[in-house]
Structure 1
Amino acid sequence: MTTVGFIGLGIMGGPMAANLVAADFDVVGHNRSPAKTERFVARGGRGASSVEEAVKDADVVATMLPDSPDVRAVLTTVFDHARPGTLVIDFSTIRPDVAADLAAEGAERGFRVLDAPVSGGEQGAVDAVLSIMVGGAAEDFEAARPVFDALGRTVVHVGPTGAGQTVKAANQLIVAGTLELLAEAIVFVEAHGVDTAAALKVLGGGLAGSTVLERKGGAMLARDFTPGFRVELHDKDLGIVTAAAREAGVVIPLGAAVAQLVASLRAQGDGGLDHSALLKLVAQLSGRPGK
C-alpha cells in the first residue's frame, strides 16, 4: 500500500485526501487547524500533528495550500524530513516561477516534484472529478498516475515544471471572466422582470452554457455565496495571472478589468464569500439588491 503524506485538509484538500483513502491509499494527513485533521481521521485517514510526522515515512507527499509562501515553507520542511526519492505533488495554485524554483531545489536534494493544480471546485474535489494539469518530468507524471486517477477525471501532462501552474492561471482567467459575465446577465434579466431560473435553463442549453453556469447559476439566483472557492483566493490567482501576463508581454484587457472587480469585492470585506459573489458587486454597481 502506497503511503501518502497529505498537507492541507481544507475545502479542497480534505475531500481529496478522503478520496485517496477510499482508493485504498494509506494517507497521513496534517492541517494547521487540528479540527480539520480530526475530521479527516473520522473519514478513515491517519492524523499527524506536524508536517514532519506526516511525511517521514511517505512514498508520496501531496500539498494543497493557499499561496506560494505557504507552499515554499511546507516544502522546505518536506525536503528536510521526507526520504530522498519521494514523489512530491503540489496541488496548490501558486506562481509558475515559484513552482519551477521549488522543483529545482527538490531535484538537487533527490526529490521528484510535480506542480499539479486542479480545477473543479469543492464539488469536483468531493466527487473525484477534478481536472488536473500537471507540470514536470514525464516519468514522474506516470509514477503519480494512480494518485491522480483517484482524484480527477481529466488528468493531463501539460509540459515541464511550472507548466501546470501556467495552465491553471489561464483557467482562473476564464473562470473569473465567465463568472463576471454570468453575474451581469443575471442582473440584466432580473431588471427586465424575466423569470431568471427559466432564463438560465435556456441559456445553459445553448452556446452560452458552461460548467460555471451549471454549478454557480442556481446559487447566484438565491444569493447563496457559501464558499466553495473564496473571493480572496481568486483575487490571489488573478494577481498571478496579471503578473505572468506582464512578464510575457501579453495584454489581457478583459482579464485585468475582472481582476480589479474581484479585488474591489475583497476590499469591501467579502473575501470570505464564494467567488460567485461577483453578482453582489454587479448588483451594487447597478443600484439593485445584491442580497
Structure 2
Amino acid sequence: MKTIGFIGIGVMGSAMVKNLLKAGFEVYVYTRTKSKADDVVAAGAKWCSSVDECAEGKDAVITIVGFPDDVNQVYFGDENSNGIIKSADKGTYIIDMTTTKPSQAVQIYEAAQEYGLNALDAPVSGGDLGAINGTLTIMVGGKEEDFDACKEMFKAMGTSVIYQGKAGSGQHTKAANQIAIAGALAGTCEAIAYLEAYGLNPGTALESIKNGSASSWQMVNNGAKILDDNMSPGFYVKHFIKDLKIASNHAADLNLDLPMLNTVLKMYLELEGVENLGTQALIYKWKKEN
C-alpha cells in the first residue's frame, strides 16, 4: 500500500497526514478550505481539487471530517461530487476515522461491498497531541483481513491499534471511550471547583491527586489547561457534544440508562459560546455559577 487519499485537514488530519508522509506514504489531500492544506502540501502532500479526485486511483482513502452529514456527503456524494463510494477503484480500502454513528459505519460498509471496496471504521482517541506525536489510539471495525492489510498505515499514526470486530465496532468502542472521558473530565472540573471553593491552591492539590489512584489523562492534560485558563482546543466542544449525543442516542436504543453521560451532555448544552473552545471549557459551568 503506497498511495493514500486523505480527506479532512483539520486539527487532527493535518498531523496525521504529516506522520503518513514521514512513514513514506504518498499522500493526496482534499479539504473544503484549501488554505487549511497549505501546511501539509508544503510538507510533501499533493493537493486534489475534489473528493472524487482524491479517491480515484488510490490504494486507500482516509476520511476524518466533522459531523455525520459531512461523512455522508464525502462517501455518497452530492450535486458537486460522486463521492468516495462511486469514485474509488475496486479493491480500494476506504477508512472513516471520523467519530460518527455506528449505524452510519455499517451503511458505508454495506455500500462498499456492493462496489467491491473494503471499508473500515477506525475512529481515534488521543487528541491533537496524540495526532502530532503519532501516538493515537485507533479502534477498528470491519473485516479482520482488511484491518491486517491496513495495519502498517495505522501504525504510522498510532501506537495502540486494535481490531474490535465487525463493521460499526470501532464506532461503538469510540462511543464508550467518549463516555469514559465525560466522567473523567467532569470529575476533574468538580475537583478543581471544590478546591477553589475552599481556598486551596488547586495546582498544588492536583500535584498530589494526579500521583495517586484518581489520576487520569484528563486531569494531567486538561486539568493543567484549566489552571492556566487555556481553552485552546485539543478537541472542540462542538465535536464532543456530537459524540456524546451519538452515545446517548445509541444507549437509548437499548433502554440503557447512563446518567453520568446524560448529565455531562446537559452541562455542555447549557453553556453558551463555548462550541469552538476545547472540552476543558466545561469548567465554565462552575465559574459561571460563582
Give the TM-score band, short-chain normalised. over 0.9
Cα distance between partner residues in 2 of 1:99 and 1:56: 21
Cα distance between partner residues in 2 of 1:6 and 1:23: 15
Matched with 1:132 is 138
Q: Which amino acid aligns with 1:35?
A: S
- The Cα of 1:188 is off from its aligned counterpart by 1.0
Do 2:86 and 2:115's aligned partners in 1 also have CA atoms closer than 8 Å? no
Q: TM-score, normalised by structure 1?
A: 0.96
Give 1:197-236 correspondences, 5 Å limit: 197-236=203-242
Please point out which of 266, 275, 278 is paired with 1:274: 278
1:60 and 2:60 aligned: yes
1:172 and 2:178 aligned: yes
1:248 and 2:277 aligned: no
Please point out which of 265, 273, 280 is paired with 1:259: 265
Give 1:11-90 correspondences, 5 Å limit: 11-76=11-76, 77-90=83-96
- The Cα of 1:52 is off from its aligned counterpart by 1.4
In percent, how many aligned pairs have the same letter? Answer: 37
Do 1:12 and 1:125's aligned partners in 2 also have CA atoms closer than 8 Å? yes
Do 1:114 and 1:137's aligned partners in 2 also have CA atoms closer than 8 Å? yes
What residue ranges of structure 1 are gaps of 5+ in the alignment?
Answer: none
Matched with 1:3 is 3
What residue ranges of structure 2 are gaps of 5+ in the alignment?
Answer: 77-82
Secondary structure at the counterpart of residue 255 of structure 1: helix
Cα distance between partner residues in 1 of 2:199 and 2:286: 17
Q: Deviations over 1:101-146 (max 9, x none)?
A: 1110111111100000000001100000000100000000000101
Secondary structure at the counterpart of residue 269 of structure 1: coil
Q: Which amino acid aligns with 1:216?
A: N
- The Cα of 1:195 is off from its aligned counterpart by 1.9
Do 1:234 and 1:262's aligned partners in 2 also have CA atoms closer than 8 Å? no
Cα distance between partner residues in 1 of 2:237 and 2:286: 14
Please point out which of 111, 118, 128 is paired with 1:112: 118
- The Cα of 1:16 is off from its aligned counterpart by 0.4
Q: Deviations over 1:158-191 (max 9, x none)?
A: 1100010001001111111211111111111112
Aligned residue pair count: 284
Q: Which amino acid aligns with 1:111?
A: L
Question: Which aligned segments of 4 or more residues in structure 1 are displaced greater than 2 angstroms?
Answer: none
Q: TM-score, normalised by structure 2?
A: 0.96
Secondary structure at the counterpart of residue 12 of structure 1: helix
Secondary structure at the counterpart of residue 11 of structure 2: coil
Cα distance between partner residues in 1 of 2:155 and 2:93: 16
1:283 and 2:287 aligned: yes
Secondary structure at the counterpart of residue 194 of structure 1: coil
Cα distance between partner residues in 2 of 1:107 and 1:238: 29
Root-mean-square deviation (CA, aligned residues, Å) is 1.0
Cα distance between partner residues in 2 of 1:89 and 1:154: 17
Secondary structure at the counterpart of residue 218 of structure 2: helix
Cα distance between partner residues in 2 of 1:20 and 1:98: 26
Do 1:29 and 1:46's aligned partners in 2 also have CA atoms closer than 8 Å? yes
1:102 and 2:112 aligned: no
